[in-house]
Structure 1
Amino acid sequence: MAYQKMPTSIKYNKQALLAGLEDVALMKNVDDTHKPDGRTFDLKPVMGVIEQIFRQTPPNMLTATSQAAVATEDKAADHASIRFDALGGLSYTIHKIACEITCKCSGGTDSHATTMELLSGTLSVYSWERKVVLALAAAAMSYGEFSLTGRLCAINSLAKSVAVLKRLPDVVEQVDALKPKFDALNNLIKAMLETTRCLIEFSHLPLDYISLDAPAMVTTQCHIPTAVYWIVNSAVTSAVQVVGQTSMRHEYHVSEACELSSSFLAQKVNSIHGLLSKQLEICMQIIDEKKSVESFRTLEHLFQTNHDDNMEIMKPIFPSKDGCPFIQSSVDKVNVETLRWKIVLLLFSDLQIREEGQLTFLSHFYEAFHEGLETTFEIVWVPIVDSNDDLINLQEKHENTILEVAAEMPWLTAHPPPHPNSTFLKYVRKEWKFENKPILVALDGQGKVTNPNALYMINIWEDGAYPFSTAREEALWKTATWKLDFIVHGVDIPELRSPIGEKKQICLYGGEDIEWIRSFTSKMKEIKKVAGISMEMAYLGVPHPRASTTKKIVDTVLREKISASYPSESIRFFWTRLERMLHSLMQSRKGPETDGLQQEVITLLTYGDSGRGWAVFASAGDEMVVADGKAFLHGFTNLGYWKDEIIEKGFHGALQTGLDLLKSPDHCLKLVLPSSSIVHHVACPECRKNMKTYLLLKCCDEELVPNTAAGAAAATAGPAPDVDSGPVGQKRKQDQKAYIMAGEKEARLLGR
């Protein structure tokens, strides 16, 4: 039969539910009941019992249970997590609250009055979060007793007898009709649990990192009495509804009022939970930020402090439960102690390190150099992955890739890698300027940073870079000279080995226009004949070639026997090494305008990226001249003039004089560097004024499109001021004009 009305023993004051409960006066009354005396208890075991009761109760509370099902549930239950002495003296308090709820509501008191009596009585001496936990425990006890009796009455005679006394058989018969009520009640219980957990989290916030006066904390504290009132009210309502089923007379039926009251309360508590969750999130952000700042400062202090050995650095930045935070060849676990007293090179990169071209070079360097100094230094790869993933997703998504790359490395790998949002990697990005391009940070045997990026110097000097410190890098630059054997170190080809020893001239050139290459090499053959010099030539590409261009030009140069040519990989290595030189110079030495070596590197990189071709003329001695390809072809047509100049000044002297005369105030040059290498105060190779810095967006290897958003850094120099306006400048202009006119006349004569 269907139930039509609530039992008279359960009364709900509808006016109290629907009108005035948000009134400030009511909340003040709730706040006035709060008189904590320091009484406390551990929340965790109590919440554990409460959650287990609600978790093990089926949605309709009275589902008939078989003996086998009971045995299975008992086996699955986590009995070890609940001890009989878990609650201690709280059991009496919980039982007392449950009795108060039953007696008061059975006597006709509405849920609001009962809630206020509990808050001003038994619960008044407890903290806010403990009030709601105790009220929930009382509701859970009634809930569990009712459900357990109804479920076991079919298989247990004792349970059946108790069920008869409680008139449960009548309720069991109507279990399907009561489903909407049970669903509403379960939704309310879920809302109460979630909001209670939120209150407990607030009570455990570390006040060392957030002040009670913080806006989010003030807002939360204003809403806590409201939250406590509605949770206790909901606990009373749910307990009354459960107990009410056992006291029903046969002729009374449950109306929709109970279902409506549960739904209303669930909506109310969920609303409060949403507000508290938002405030909790704000508080946690504040706490995390302060903890992050504190951790960062601790790490800063750690790196700034002198240590007896590097373990005081290695263990904090590579924590591990088993003391083995590294793997080698993707298999063997390696103890952190193997790094004690060693120089450690921390290689930071993303997972695309194989595409950067550095892995092959470093592997050759490591295998050739590490064997003899195995006890003095070690490399550790620290993979840095996408920070948008959480830690679990990181391990699942990138694990195979990390192991694949690690298998190709002869050195150690940090495994698992540090989380992208960890304090250590924040430090790496800020202090060591990591921006997705590989860097190699050198630490000495005491853990002190000796070089924020030793990758440049290793690329340039290889084993000569040991012990990889900035001091060693500066010392190497002090002894370096701008010679051919220095800039082509590691990229030699057979055709150029004998000329150096025989003191012949060497010409290295590059460009992406095959017609310019043909014209240039043809002109050089004429110059060699007129000047009577021996010269070997080799093609050496450009810094940032368009896709597949280098290989095509190399093939054409060799097929047509235009000149010798470096292999494509050697060309790439040459320009990469040259860029590393510039990085290294700017990292270790200041003042590009006064640094001749640095300016020579800038000049070669700038001409290489000009799109007009470039050339370097060198001999076995110290003389070396860098030329812009287009200017060279435009001006060096007067071969007769060339011959006279060479006799007077020598080949390089005549060449340099001609190039100086060809320099024009109307020029536009660019120096293209990766976005992580934006530099300032770079002098133009032509006019020596500071080049302006722009941003380019590199879409592909085909072109560079100007854009102010992001991308590669390009330092450009436009027309210079009219520095030739004085008498000296006028004389220079006259010499330049005469030189070019003589060249044009010679060209016309040769044309006839």
Structure 2
Amino acid sequence: MRNLVYKLSALCCDLREQVKLCHQQIDSRLYEKLPNLFNQIHVDNQEKLKMLIASGDNFPLMDCLSKEKHSLSELKNKVVILLISKPELLPIEKIFLLVHQTYDHPHQEKIGGSYVVLWVPLSSSHGWSHADKISFQFLSGSLPFWSLKQPGLLNSAVVNFIIQEWNFKEEAMMVVLDTNGMITNSNAMDMIWIWGAKAFPFSISREKELWEVEKWTLQLMIDGIDPLLTNWIEEGKNFCIFGSGNADWIRNFSSKIKEVSNTELQLEVIYVGWRSPTEKLQSILRIIEQENLCTYLTFTKIRFFWLRLESMKSLTSRQENNDDDMSKEILGLLEVDDSDDGWVLIGTGSLPGLIKLQGQKVTEFFDLFPVWAENLGTMGIVGAIKSALEPTLSTGPCDHAEILAFNEGLLKGPVFCAVCKRLKEKYVLYKCDATE
């Protein structure tokens, strides 16, 4: 009997080694197939998703909220956004923004069920720890996304493929597959944080298309963050957004801006804090509310505002036709901290062109109000303030010409000469680009 036990034990050990070798060979072959598979054009996304999920389960997916099970076939003819992350996904404010931009965004209703966000959590260790499982269970009951039903069973070859071929480095990323399963964007996170559902189908070509028509406007900065602000933008109202960590400066600025706004000028004033959220910001928001100083974004929406700016900075650095002026403005705002000096941005709805005031310029803005207020009707608020704060460099004639690409609705405001700073006259040029 003892000999039989020894023989069976040895046989079991041999079989385990053989099974292990078989799994290694299967993983190796799967890893070799995946890169070629994703470079091939298919009639739909099914074969690629089946190979990626590599599950024997007929219903490997689930709706995180309802816990309803789903098959891969239900993703056919849909754009699939693979949200790849660690089990804890993202900091809570980023999760809120991601949900807002993908499922609560106003544009989402127009495209209905054309896309699905599929969460693919990957453990940061070789196996799923107890903490990983707790994080996944908690978040999977709170998100409006779909998810792998058992992410811990994801094939190790697939995990290695995502890490090595798709460059997953523990920072959450969103890989976009079109209806044919082709990768159209290796990471759509930035464009989704900026444009939300409006960025559908979330491809690189769509990203370029959106960015080429963007101008440095208030709409770009705050669109979709708050319904009230969105309405103000659509109504073409004048905006003043500002930030400061000095309560006395905020009190003084709010008092003066109310005096200005009580005249014929209609100016909506919104406080947006600064980039790094702190207890100090919470305190400033309480002061603004208690003293009724001005309109302000909530603590969470302030985080949305700055996260969007960070995404804009990241996106502009990748664009071939980069707008250097816009990049400088974005970078300048992101470098602002909670120092005593406040900053101010003024513009009108979706019209291009913003004017930034800081330090002594804020004082000049109020001192010169009688000067620039006279030009509001002809120049608009940005043009009027610029003409007052940045006087012309020359009183003589100037023949500097500039051809601006025209996009419907983007050149309604005044344009100023880069040389003499005076208001330009507008002409229309028709250009033929025929090549044959």
TM-score (norm 1): 0.44
CA positional deviation for 1:315:
0.9
- Taking structure 1 as reference, are residues 411 and 560 closer, same or farther at Cα in structure 2, changes over 3 Å only? closer
1:517 — aligned with what?
250
C-alpha separation between the residues in 2 aligned to 1:496 and 1:380? 29
Q: Secondary structure at the match of 1:405?
A: helix
| Cα displacement string for residues 372-396 of structure 1 (whole angstroms, at most 9, x for unaligned residues) | 75663222111122315x3xx54x6
1:580 — aligned with what?
311
- Residue 570 of structure 1 aligns with an amino acid whose one-letter code is K
1:602 aligns with 2:331: yes
1:636 aligns with 2:371: no
1:53 — aligned with what?
5
- Contact 2:365–2:385 (Cα < 8 Å) also in 1: no
C-alpha separation between the residues in 1 aligned to 2:248 and 2:34? 58
2:406 — aligned with what?
none
Q: Root-mean-square deviation (CA), in Å? A: 4.3
2:302 — aligned with what?
571
1:618 — aligned with what?
347
2:417 — aligned with what?
none
2:272 — aligned with what?
540
| Cα displacement string for residues 233-257 of structure 1 (whole angstroms, at most 9, x for unaligned residues) | xxxxxxxxxxxxxxxxxxxxxxxxx
C-alpha separation between the residues in 2 aligned to 1:525 and 1:416? 57
| Cα displacement string for residues 306-328 of structure 1 (whole angstroms, at most 9, x for unaligned residues) | 22321221111101123322122
2:42 — aligned with what?
307
| Cα displacement string for residues 144-203 of structure 1 (whole angstroms, at most 9, x for unaligned residues) | xxxxxxxxxxxxxxxxxxxxxxxxxxxxxxxxxxxxxxxxxxxxxx9xx69x969x969x
- Residue 540 of structure 1 aligns with an amino acid whose one-letter code is V
- Taking structure 1 as reference, are residues 652 and 551 closer, same or farther at Cα in structure 2, changes over 3 Å only? same
C-alpha separation between the residues in 2 aligned to 1:464 and 1:553? 33
- Taking structure 1 as reference, are residues 291 and 493 closer, same or farther at Cα in structure 2, changes over 3 Å only? closer
C-alpha separation between the residues in 1 aligned to 2:252 and 2:33? 63
Q: Structure 2 unaligned runs (5+)?
A: 394-436
C-alpha separation between the residues in 2 aligned to 1:375 and 1:491? 22
CA positional deviation for 1:523:
5.5
CA positional deviation for 1:509:
0.5
From 204, 212, 221, the counterpart of 1:470: 204
1:119 — aligned with what?
none
C-alpha separation between the residues in 2 aligned to 1:495 and 1:591? 29
Give matches, 1:5-154, under 5 Å.
52-54=4-6
1:75 — aligned with what?
none
CA positional deviation for 1:521:
3.6
From 368, 384, 388, the counterpart of 1:651: 384
CA positional deviation for 1:507:
1.7
From 412, 417, 423, the counterpart of 2:146: 412
Count residues with an aligned counterpart: 381
From 216, 238, 241, the counterpart of 1:508: 241
From 489, 493, 512, the counterpart of 2:223: 489
Structure with larger RCO (C-alpha < 8 A, sep 6+): 2
2:419 — aligned with what?
none
Give matches, 1:341-740, under 5 Å.
341-353=77-89, 355-364=91-100, 365-366=102-103, 376-388=114-126, 390=127, 394=129, 398-417=132-151, 422-492=156-226, 494=228, 501=235, 505-522=238-255, 524=257, 528=260, 533-546=265-278, 548-587=279-318, 589-590=319-320, 592=322, 594-607=323-336, 612-620=341-349, 621-627=351-357, 629-632=358-361, 636=364, 639=367, 651-654=384-387, 657=390
Q: Secondary structure at the match of 2:270?
A: strand
Please identify which structure carries the higher helix content: 1
2:412 — aligned with what?
none
Q: Secondary structure at the match of 2:48?
A: helix
| Cα displacement string for residues 286-320 of structure 1 (whole angstroms, at most 9, x for unaligned residues) | x97x9988754432222122223212211111011
Q: Structure 1 unaligned runs (5+)?
A: 1-48, 55-136, 141-189, 207-286, 661-752
- Taking structure 1 as reference, are residues 197 and 293 closer, same or farther at Cα in structure 2, changes over 3 Å only? closer
2:427 — aligned with what?
none
* Structure (1 or 2) with the larger CA radius of gyration: 1
- Residue 601 of structure 1 aligns with an amino acid whose one-letter code is I
Among the aligned pairs, what percent are the same residue?
25
CA positional deviation for 1:452:
1.6
- Taking structure 1 as reference, are residues 496 and 510 closer, same or farther at Cα in structure 2, changes over 3 Å only? farther
- Taking structure 1 as reference, are residues 418 and 498 closer, same or farther at Cα in structure 2, changes over 3 Å only? closer
- Taking structure 1 as reference, are residues 434 and 655 closer, same or farther at Cα in structure 2, changes over 3 Å only? farther
- Taking structure 1 as reference, are residues 493 and 367 closer, same or farther at Cα in structure 2, changes over 3 Å only? closer
C-alpha separation between the residues in 2 aligned to 1:321 and 1:585? 43
TM-score (norm 2): 0.71
- Taking structure 1 as reference, are residues 567 and 489 closer, same or farther at Cα in structure 2, changes over 3 Å only? same
